[in-house]
C-alpha cells in the first residue's frame, strides 16, 4: 500500500486531495493507497479563514467569484468535478441570501472551505480508501532513498509521497505593547478604551484591525445624509492612528454588475509573453512586460469610454497626490483621495473606466505569472517586480471592499481615527509606549501612542522565517534563489518537485501554494468560476503526477 501525505489541509491541500480523488474515480484501475492529512489548526479545510472569526472581517473577493470545484472551464486539463461556487453554496446549501456582488465574511468563507473538505472526505469513504487526520504540527520532513518521512512534535511517519501545502507562519504577540495581528482578535480585547493605538499598514489586515476595534466593540456605521457613512460610537473604542510606508490605502474594489465577466486581452496575452521568452530568454519586467500591460490598460480605458488617455502615473502612484506642505493640507489631500476612490467604486466597475482598468490588472495576473514563474525574469528584474511593483499591483487590485474606505472616512470625521502621521512616520520608543513623528515641508506632527499593532501578513520568505519546520527544511532542501535574488519558499521544478540541497529534484516530495512562492508567482488565491485558474491548474497537474506515480508501481494496483 502506498501512503500519500499532504502537509497543510487548508484550501491548497484540500484542492489537491479533490483532484487525486477525481483521478481515482475516473480510473479503470483500483489503487491500493492511503492518505495522511497533517493540519496543525483544529479545523481541516479552512486554512486561515477560521469559522470562529468575527463576522465583521470581510474577504476581498465577491461571493460569485470564489470556487473550490474543478468546473467545465477546466475540462481541457483534467477530469471535471463540478460543484457549487461560494455563492451557490451560500444560497442553495446554506440556504441564506447573499448577493452575487456581496463580499462575504471570512468566517463564512471558512464554512464553505470546511464544506468542501468534508465533501472530499465523504468521497474517500464511499471509495473505501483509508485516510488519517493528524491534528499536529509538522516539524521536519525528509526525502531520501525513495522513501519519505514526516516528523511531528509527537511522532514519526514513514510515507511514500509528501506534498507540502502549508500557508503562513504563525505570529505571536511580542509584548504587551507591540503585537502582530493576523486573523486573530484575541489580543484586541486587552486594549483599553480611550487609549491611543498605532496601526502600521493600510492593507486588508489593517481594515480587519479597524473593524475589530470599532464594530467589534459595539460601534455602528449608519448611512449619512451626504451619501457616505456616519459612525455611532459605543464609547468602548480606542483612538486609532493609521500609517504605512506609502501613506496611502489600498484602492477599493468597485461594485461589479456583471460578475461573470472576464477581461480578454488584446496585446498583453500569454502568447505574447511566451514569444518574447523564446526570442530573448530571460525577461525584464519593466522593459518587456510592463509596457505591454500599460498598452492593454490604455486599450481597456478607451474601450470603456475613458476621456483621453489613462493617467498611468496616477494609476500606479496615487500617493503622489498627497500634499506634504503641512499637516492640514496633508489630511485634506488624504481625505480627498479617499472619497474619490470609494466614489469611483460606487459608480461601478463597468461605469468607471478607471476602476475597470484596476480589475483588468486582477484578471491578467495569470499573464504576469507566465512572465515570472520558474525564474523567467532575470534576477535583478525579479527583485524589482517583488520589491517595487508587487506592492503597487496589490494596491491596485487586491484592496478592500469600498465599504471599508467609507467606514474609514466616517471614523476620521468622528475623531476616532487620525491620518496626520500616515506617511511613513518615524516610530520612536518611549517610556510608556511610542511616539510617531511625521515630517512635512513646513512643520511636523508628533503623536504619542500606547499600543503599536503591526497589521501585516507574516512573511512568505522562508529565509526570514523562524518556525521549526522551515529551519529544518533549509538543512536538506534548497530555498528559491534566482541568481542571487532570494525570495519565497522552497525551490521547485516545473513538476512541483522540491529541489534538494544538492540541486536534485525529489521524486517523492512536492510543494504547492505559498510553500512554492518564488518559483511560482502570487500563489495566495482561490479558484474562480468560468476562469482557467492557476490555483486549480497547479492542483490538477500535481495530482495527476502523483496518481501516475502510484500506477507505475504494480504492487499499488489491485486487479
Specify if 188 maps to a domain.
Answer: no
Confidence band, pLDDT 50/70/90 cuts, at residue 75: very high
Q: Please give the helix or strand (H or E) that residue 74 lies within, else none.
A: none
Please check whether residues 161 and 199 belong to one and the same domain. Answer: no
DSSP string, 80-111: -B----HHHIIIIIS-----TTPPPBHHHHHH
- The pTM of the full predicted model, rounded to 2 decimals, is 0.94
Please check whether residues 345 and 492 belong to one and the same domain. Answer: no
Task: Please enumerate in sequence order all residues whose Cβ is within 8 A of that of 189, keeping only pairs 6 or more positions apart, or say none.
Answer: none
d(CA 4, CA 550): 9
Please check whether residues 535 and 393 belong to one and the same domain. Answer: no
Please check whether residues 419 and 503 belong to one and the same domain. Answer: no
Specify if 263 maps to a domain.
Answer: no
Say whether pLDDT at 505 is over 50: yes
Confidence band, pLDDT 50/70/90 cuts, at residue 183: very low
Give residue 190's pLDDT. 83
Please check whether residues 244 and 356 belong to one and the same domain. Answer: no
Average pLDDT over residues 193-197: 96
Please check whether residues 411 and 424 belong to one and the same domain. Answer: yes
Question: Could you tell me the CA-to-CA distances from 254 to 60, 261, 400, 491 in Å, in that order?
Answer: 11, 14, 9, 36
Specify if 507 maps to a domain.
Answer: yes
Give residue 48's pLDDT. 86
Please check whether residues 10 and 110 belong to one and the same domain. Answer: yes
Please check whether residues 345 and 493 belong to one and the same domain. Answer: no
Specify if 101 maps to a domain.
Answer: yes
Specify if 256 maps to a domain.
Answer: no
- Of the candidates 371, 397, 423, which is a domain's last residue? 397
Taking only the tens place, the pLDDT of each residue in 458-484 is 778 898 888 899 999 999 999 999 999
Taking only the tens place, the pLDDT of each residue in 197-254 is 999 999 998 999 999 999 999 999 999 999 999 999 999 999 999 999 999 999 999 9
Beta strands in 161-283 (DSSP E): 161-164, 178-180, 196-200, 220-223, 229-232, 239-243
Taking only the tens place, the pLDDT of each residue in 318-351 is 999 999 999 999 999 999 999 999 999 999 999 9
Taking only the tens place, the pLDDT of each residue in 522-552 is 999 999 999 999 999 999 999 999 999 887 7
C-alpha dihedral (502, 503, 504, 507), degrees to nearest 10: 100
Angle, in degrees to the nearest 10, between helices 327-347 and 353-363: 80
- Of the candidates 419, 454, 489, which is a domain's last residue? 454
Specify if 258 maps to a domain.
Answer: no
CATH of the domain at 21: 3.50.50.60
Share of the chain above pLDDT 70, in %: 95
pLDDT, averaged across the chain = 94
Give residue 176's pLDDT. 62
Give residue 35's pLDDT. 98
Please check whether residues 132 and 39 belong to one and the same domain. Answer: yes
d(CA 202, CA 258): 28
Average pLDDT over residues 256-268: 96
Give residue 169's pLDDT. 66
Specify if 186 maps to a domain.
Answer: no
Give residue 368's pLDDT. 98
Please check whether residues 151 and 13 belong to one and the same domain. Answer: yes
Please check whether residues 73 and 41 belong to one and the same domain. Answer: yes
Contact 264, 328 (CB under 8 A): no
Taking only the tens place, the pLDDT of each residue in 400-424 is 999 999 999 999 999 999 999 999 9
Q: How many domains does the chain have?
A: 3
Average pLDDT over residues 370-376: 98
Computed from CA positions of residues 291, 297, 300, 306, in that sequence, does the dihedral angle turn out positive or negative? negative
Say whether pLDDT at 31 is over 70: yes
Confidence band, pLDDT 50/70/90 cuts, at residue 555: low
| Residue 225 cell numbers, joined | 445624509
Give residue 21's pLDDT. 97
Specify if 20 maps to a domain.
Answer: yes
Taking only the tens place, the pLDDT of each residue in 130-165 is 999 999 999 999 997 777 999 999 999 999 999 999
Q: What are phi and psi of 440, to 5 degrees?
A: -115, 175
Please check whether residues 292 and 238 belong to one and the same domain. Answer: no
Give residue 404's pLDDT. 97
**What domain range includes position 280?**
270-397
Contact 526, 67 (CB under 8 A): yes
Amino acid at each position: 500500500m502506498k501512503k500519500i501525505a499532504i502537509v497543510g489541509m487548508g484550501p491548497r491541500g484540500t484542492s489537491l486531495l479533490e483532484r487525486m480523488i477525481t483521478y481515482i474515480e475516473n480510473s479503470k484501475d483500483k489503487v491500493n493507497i492511503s492518505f495522511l492529512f497533517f493540519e496543525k489548526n483544529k479545523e481541516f479545510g479552512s486554512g486561515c479563514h477560521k469559522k470562529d472569526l468575527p463576522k465583521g472581517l470581510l474577504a476581498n473577493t465577491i461571493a460569485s467569484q470564489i470556487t473550490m470545484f474543478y468546473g467545465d472551464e477546466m475540462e481541457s486539463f483534467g477530469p471535471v468535478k463540478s460543484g457549487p461556487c461560494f455563492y451557490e453554496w451560500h444560497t442553495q446549501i446554506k440556504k441564506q441570501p447573499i448577493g452575487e456582488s456581496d463580499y462575504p465574511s471570512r468566517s463564512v468563507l471558512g464554512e464553505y472551505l470546511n464544506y468542501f473538505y468534508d465533501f472530499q472526505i465523504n468521497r474517500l469513504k464511499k471509495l473505501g480508501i483509508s485516510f488519517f487526520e493528524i491534528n499536529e504540527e509538522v516539524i521536519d520532513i525528509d526525502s531520501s532513498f525513495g522513501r519519505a518521512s514526516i516528523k511531528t512534535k509527537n511522532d514519526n511517519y514513514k510515507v511514500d509521497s509528501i506534498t507540502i501545502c502549508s500557508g503562513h507562519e504563525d505570529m505571536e504577540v511580542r509584548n504587551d505593547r507591540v503585537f502582530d495581528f493576523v486573523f486573530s482578535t484575541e489580543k484586541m480585547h486587552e486594549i483599553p478604551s480611550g487609549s491611543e493605538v498605532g496601526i502600521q499598514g493600510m492593507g486588508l489586515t489593517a481594515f480587519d484591525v479597524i473593524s475589530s476595534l470599532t464594530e467589534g466593540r459595539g460601534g455602528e456605521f449608519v448611512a449619512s445624509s451626504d451619501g457616505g457613512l456616519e459612525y455611532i460610537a459605543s464609547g468602548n473604542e480606542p483612538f486609532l492612528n493609521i500609517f504605512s510606508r506609502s501613506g496611502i490605502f489600498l484602492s477599493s474594489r468597485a461594485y461589479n454588475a456583471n460578475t461573470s465577466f472576464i477581461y480578454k486581452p488584446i496585446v498583453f496575452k500569454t502568447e505574447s509573453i511566451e514569444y518574447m521568452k523564446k526570442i530573448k530568454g530571460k525577461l525584464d519586467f519593466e522593459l518587456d512586460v510592463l509596457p505591454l500591460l500599460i498598452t492593454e490598460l490604455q486599450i481597456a480605458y478607451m474601450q470603456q469610454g475613458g476621456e483621453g488617455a489613462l493617467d498611468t502615473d496616477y494609476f500606479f502612484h496615487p500617493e503622489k497626490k498627497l500634499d506634504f506642505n503641512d499637516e492640514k493640507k496633508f489630511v485634506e489631500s488624504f481625505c480627498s483621495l479617499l472619497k474619490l476612490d470609494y466614489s469611483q467604486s460606487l459608480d461601478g466597475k463597468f461605469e468607471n473606466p478607471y476602476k475597470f482598468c484596476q480589475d483588468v490588472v486582477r484578471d491578467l495576473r495569470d499573464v504576469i505569472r507566465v512572465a515570472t514563474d520558474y525564474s523567467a525574469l532575470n534576477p535583478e528584474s525579479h527583485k524589482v517586480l517583488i520589491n517595487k511593483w508587487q506592492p503597487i499591483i496589490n494596491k491596485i487590485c487586491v484592496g478592500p471592499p469600498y465599504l471599508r474606505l467609507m467606514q474609514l472616512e466616517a471614523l476620521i470625521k468622528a475623531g476616532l481615527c487620525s491620518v496626520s502621521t500616515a506617511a511613513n512616520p518615524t516610530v520612536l520608543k518611549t517610556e510608556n509606549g511610542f511616539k510617531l513623528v511625521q515630517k512635512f515641508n513646513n512643520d511636523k506632527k508628533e503623536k504619542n501612542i500606547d499600543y503599536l499593532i503591526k497589521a501585516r501578513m507574516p512573511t512568505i520568505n522562508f529565509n526570514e522565517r523562524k518556525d521549526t519546520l522551515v529551519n529544518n527544511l533549509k538543512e536538506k532542501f534548497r530555498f528559491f534563489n534566482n541568481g542571487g535574488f532570494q525570495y519565497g519558499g522552497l525551490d521547485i521544478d516545473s513538476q512541483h518537485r522540491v529541489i534538494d540541497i544538492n540541486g536534485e529534484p525529489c521524486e517523492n516530495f512536492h510543494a504547492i501554494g505559498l510553500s512554492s512562492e518564488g518559483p511560482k508567482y502570487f500563489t495566495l488565491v482561490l479558484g474562480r468560476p468560468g476562469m482557467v485558474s492557476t490555483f486549480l491548474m497547479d492542483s490538477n497537474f500535481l495530482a495527476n503526477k502523483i496518481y501516475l506515480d502510484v500506477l507505475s508501481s504494480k504492487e499499488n494496483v489491485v486487479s
